[in-house]
Amino acid sequence: MKLQTVPHSERGRPTPSRWAVAALSLLTACASPLAGDAPAPTGLPQDLGVQATVQPGPSPSAERSGGRDRAKGRGEEEEPEEGRSSRKGGKQKWEKDPVEKVPDAPEAPRAFRGIGSAPDPAGDAGLRAPAYADLTNILVEDDGQSARVSVDMAGDLPERLPEGEVEGVGVDLIRGANDGENDYQVFASGNADGWVGYLYAPGGFVRYRGTFEVIADRLVFTVPWEELGGKNSGTLSAFADWSGPGPIALNPASQDFAPNVGSARFG
């Protein structure tokens, strides 16, 4: 199965090596022209990626209190607890319970703040594209130590894609000239085996040192800034390439960009 794509250079964008790597991962993930399944991508360094953590929705049972408090009916007297009172001279004398030292609260996690985004209209990925291949927004956030890059789609992302489908989603973070020398890309590869996150740096793939999550309709990459060349301002752009099963000339495929033309600022 061959993925039909439009070269990024034809959309007003350069075509550095990272795009070729992303395209290679999709092409090598496709099955033979007449097959309906998609084996795991062989063009990506599996040992450098990280398997996605799929976050379930909030569980009602987790919000229930597990305390030992018991409701008491009206008119029901509370029995004094042992060791809390004593009688002297016919009078009840209450003794104070020892004060229990409350442990120090753990340090609150650093709050992320948005430093750049690239919205994209829904429904522009093509008639045959599923909603989970249609970009709607890219958000870059900073907590002082790490970058959090969130990719929103028009529909919920399946934990595992249907057999025969492959999808690649990448976000470029570029400083200076778009010549590949100062370019970083967080990249997600999805197929029937699930989702894997990768980091592409100047010179090639490096080990992904961070977290990668699939949360409903969102892909979330969280990576230390030092892994992205430092906390410097730059430009961002993203793509989503999807392909379904079928013969070469008939298989469905789509490609979407955010923003549609050019790039957006971050930092």
pLDDT digits (tens, 9 = 90+) for 219-246: 999 999 999 999 999 999 999 999 999 8
The pLDDT value given to residue 257: 98
At 156 the pLDDT is: 96
Structural domain includes residue 180: yes
Q: How far apart are CA 267 and CA 17, in angstroms?
A: 24
**Average pLDDT value for residue range 4-21:** 36
Q: Which residue has the tokens 């970058």?
A: 147
Cis amide leading into 103 (omega within 30)? no
Mean of the pLDDT values across residues 148-169? 97
CA dihedral 265, 175, 113, 259 (to 10 degrees): 40
Which phi and psi angles does 60 have, rounded to 5°?
-55, -35
Q: Return the higher-pLDDT residue of 113 and 3.
A: 113
Across 120-136, average pLDDT: 96
For the chain, percent of residues with pLDDT exceeding 70: 63
For residue range 64-94, list pLDDT tens digits in order: 333 333 333 334 444 444 445 455 555 555 5
Of 21-35, 114-128, 142-156, 180-194, which range is least confident?
21-35
In the structure, what pLDDT confidence band is assigned to residue 43 with cuts at 50, 70 and 90? confident
Q: What is the predicted pLDDT for the residue at 246?
A: 82
Alpha helices (H) in the chain, listed in sequence order = 17-29
**Domain total in the chain:** 1
Residue 95 lies in a domain: no
Establish if 198 belongs to a structural domain: yes
What is the rounded CA–CA span in Å between residue 186 and residue 170? 6
* Tokens 């309709």 sit on residue: 217
Strands 253-258 and 218-224: unpaired
Structural domain span for residue 183: 8-38+48-54+109-260
Asked whether the whole model's pTM tops 0.85, one would answer: no
- How confident is the model over 164-186, as a mean pLDDT? 87
**pLDDT score for 176:** 78
d(CA 208, CA 48) in angstroms, rounded, equals 6
pLDDT higher than threshold 50 for residue 184: yes
- For residue 59, being part of any structural domain is answered with no
Q: Pick left, alpha or beta for residue 233 (phi over 0 → left; psi -120 to 50 → alpha; otherwise beta).
A: beta
Strand ranges, E, within the chain: 50-51, 53-54, 85-88, 91-94, 113-119, 135-142, 146-153, 166-174, 183-191, 194-201, 204-206, 211-215, 218-224, 234-243, 253-258, 264-266
DSSP state, 23? H
Residue at 227 is within a domain: yes
Whether the link from the prior residue into 247 is cis, omega within 30° of 0, is no
Q: Is residue 61 part of a domain?
A: no
Does a structural domain hold residue 19?
yes
Q: What is the pLDDT of residue 55?
A: 86
pLDDT for residue 152: 98
Judge whether 123 lies within some domain. yes
Average pLDDT of the chain is 76
Q: Note whether 98 and 84 are within 8 A (CB).
A: no
